[in-house]
């Protein structure tokens, strides 16, 4: 499948919550207005998307704790993708552990709009995030023979969508949002006309800062809309995912509940889907009290799936 075919498939249903309003308010042919909307993230034409397709990261100033990192190892690679508003550094401990135990090459992605500013995040969309994975996947593929996708939260959803169109050895999805039951989500496109940002819980920001990780103190609401678009598109494409999957959720997670595990198992075509529940964990299982258990389960899974007969 060509790159254009992949992006056309991903665009199925893209921004469906927004376009009705925009098409009603913007007369056809007003290209200057469309270009302005493109800059702030509301991409409304195929032409605008084509001009926004290069995978190479934009030249922006990235904060020091948020840079992507690479641990060189064997011909098996693991590609780590962080969640919404987060950064690659949140995977440093897990990547170091897996690198030491397996010798695999480990590479952590920085998604566009992350590790810079919340205004920068506001200007990106889920296609930009998808392309960030594509860039690092292509670079990693030059030095390894097989790649395992490993993501947390939105990074898991992106990894699953990416695996629908690219060959991967296995997938590790930590707290993957497949469908969030938020009745208020349908009003977000309207809310963004009046409010651009929503404050992140202070306790959540403090927990990241305590670990030395950078995390946005505000959420760009246009980015949240993109997250819901991403989930909707991913649900439609999960039937294309055939690689073995290890997925998990914390039973104290108030964001991604255990029903997401059942939905994931239902929609993928993978013959092997291993699900684990962590009774004492919240959303970031890999940072909580049960992280050692999670590490051992991931290690067991990827060792088994990469074992040569």
pLDDT at residue number 153? 96
The answer to whether residue 143 scores a pLDDT higher than 90 is yes
pLDDT at residue number 108? 98
pLDDT at residue number 8? 52
pLDDT digit string, tens, across residues 71-108: 999 999 999 999 999 999 999 999 999 999 999 999 99
Q: Is the pTM of this model over 0.85?
A: no
What is the residue whose two structure tokens read 């993501």? 151
pLDDT digit string, tens, across residues 20-78: 444 444 444 443 343 333 433 433 333 344 445 556 777 788 888 899 999 999 999 99
pLDDT at residue number 53? 54
The answer to whether residue 294 scores a pLDDT higher than 80 is yes
pLDDT at residue number 22? 45
pLDDT digit string, tens, across residues 174-205: 999 999 887 777 777 777 778 888 888 887 77
Tell me the percentage of the chain whose pLDDT exceeds 90. 54
Instruction: Compute the distance between CA of residue 26 and CA of residue 143 in angstroms, rounded to an integer.
Output: 48
pLDDT at residue number 308? 66
pLDDT at residue number 173? 98
Superfamily of domain 3-306: Alpha/Beta hydrolase fold, catalytic domain (3.40.50.1820)
Residue-averaged pLDDT of the chain: 83
């Amino acid at each position: 499948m060509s790159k254009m075919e992949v992006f056309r498939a991903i665009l199925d249903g893209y921004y469906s919550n927004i376009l009705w309003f925009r098409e009603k308010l913007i007369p056809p042919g007003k290209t200057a207005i469309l270009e302005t909307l493109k800059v702030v993230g509301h991409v409304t034409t195929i032409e605008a998307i084509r001009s926004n397709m290069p995978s190479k990261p934009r030249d922006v100033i990235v904060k020091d704790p948020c840079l992507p990192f690479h641990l060189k190892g064997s011909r098996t690679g693991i590609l780590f993708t962080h969640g919404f508003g987060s950064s690659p550094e949140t995977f440093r401990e897990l990547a170091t552990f897996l690198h030491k135990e397996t010798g695999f090459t480990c590479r952590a992605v920085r998604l566009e709009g992350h590790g810079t500013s919340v205004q920068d995040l506001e200007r990106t969309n889920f296609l930009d995030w998808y392309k960030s994975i594509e860039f690092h996947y292509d670079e990693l593929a030059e030095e390894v023979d097989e790649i395992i996708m490993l993501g947390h939260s939105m990074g898991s959803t992106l990894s699953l969508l990416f695996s629908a169109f690219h060959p991967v050895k296995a997938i590790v999805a930590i707290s993957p949002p497949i469908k969030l039951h938020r009745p208020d989500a349908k009003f977000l496109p309207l809310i963004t006309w009046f409010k651009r940002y929503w404050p992140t819980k202070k306790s959540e920001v403090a927990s990241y800062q305590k670990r030395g990780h950078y995390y946005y103190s505000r959420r760009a609401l246009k980015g949240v809309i993109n997250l819901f678009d991403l989930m909707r598109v991913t649900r439609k494409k999960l039937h294309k995912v055939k690689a073995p999957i290890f997925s998990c959720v914390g039973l104290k997670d108030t964001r991604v509940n255990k029903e997401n595990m059942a939905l994931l198992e239902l929609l993928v075509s993978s013959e092997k889907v291993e699900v684990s529940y962590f009774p004492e964990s919240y959303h970031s299982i890999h940072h909580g009290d049960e992280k050692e258990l999670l590490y051992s389960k991931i290690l067991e899974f990827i060792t088994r799936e990469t074992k040569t007969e």
